[in-house]
Amino acid sequence: MEILVYKTDISHSWHVGHLNLVMNAMENIESWTIDTEDVDKILRIVPLHSIDEHSIPKLLRNHGFYCEILE
């Protein structure tokens, strides 16, 4: 199982609500979690199929969030 991991700036419940709309609109995401308590506000995504890991930061930036790949 592939898990994509990202550092974000998503820290408030209203950010998580907006992120929920964005993530649920993507058909190729099986599940996702955000740890708003972590200093890096870690977003973890389990894709249904292999996806370009660079597409997530681009998508989130288009919605006003900071996001970078954690390796």
Structural domain count, the chain: 1
**CB distance 50 to 20 below 8 Å:** no
Q: What is the pLDDT of residue 66?
A: 97
User: Which pLDDT belongs to residue 6?
Assistant: 98
* pLDDT the model gives residue 31: 95
C-alpha closest to that of 58 among 22, 20, 29: 22
Q: Phi and psi dihedrals of 67, rounded to 5?
A: -160, 130
Domain boundaries, position 48: 4-69
Residues 14-69 have pLDDT tens digits of 999 999 999 999 889 999 999 999 999 999 999 999 899 999 999 999 999 999 99
On the question of pLDDT at 1 being above 90, the answer is no
Q: What is the pLDDT of residue 38?
A: 96
Q: What is the CATH number of the domain that holds 20?
A: 3.30.70.100
Beta-strand pair 4-8/67-69:
antiparallel
